[in-house]
Amino acid sequence: MLPLPKKYFLTAASCEGETELTAFDRALLEAGVGNTNLLRVSSILPPGCEYEPGLIIPPGSLLPIAYGTITSCEPGARIAAAVAVGIKKDSFGVIMEYEGYCSKAEAEEMVVKMCREAFRVRGLELDEIKIAATEHLVEKIGCAFAAVPLWY
């Protein structure tokens, strides 16, 4: 059984690259998680998990992370990615991710809407929402990435 993460932060970044993979890699580096091994998780923030902005993850770590990402090779396209964490004090939280051909504001609006719905269907009271988002105007090959890394 894996231990429950105790800490989390939100991050978002966007970059260009010479290939789709290197654009994604550069966005990860800008977001502060590029030297880790991402273990994509779904959307529940463990109970008692504490927000710790600026948390440094050791290189090579296996990193549980919920994220949204989009890569485009269409010059002039506007792409965005966003994450939101819905928080209920003294309970677990919900993480929502979104990516698309849209603005940062549209992506933020979507993750907030999804957080509110997730709490409503669970019958939980929503105390707080934290958001991270980015948008990118593609020059050649661009990537937008937003994430909630979870740590021990």
Would residue 50 show up in a list of annotated catalytic residues for this protein? no
Active-site choice (14, 72, 97, 135): 97
**97 noted as active-site residue:** yes
Look up residue 125 and give its two tokens: 């009271």
Q: What is the DSSP string of 3-64?
A: PPP-EE--EEEEEE-SSHHHHHHHHHHHHT-TTSEEEE--SEEPTTPEE-TTPPPPTT-EEE
Q: Residue 49: which of 90, 81, 96 has the closest Cα?
A: 90
How far from chain centre, in Å, is Cα 119?
A: 18
| Beta strand segments in 73-120, E | 78-87, 93-100
Options 18, 37, 50, 128, the catalytic residue: 37
Active-site annotation holder among 14, 43, 108, 135: 43
Question: Any catalytic annotation for residue 43?
Answer: yes
Q: Which residues are catalytic?
A: 37, 42-43, 97
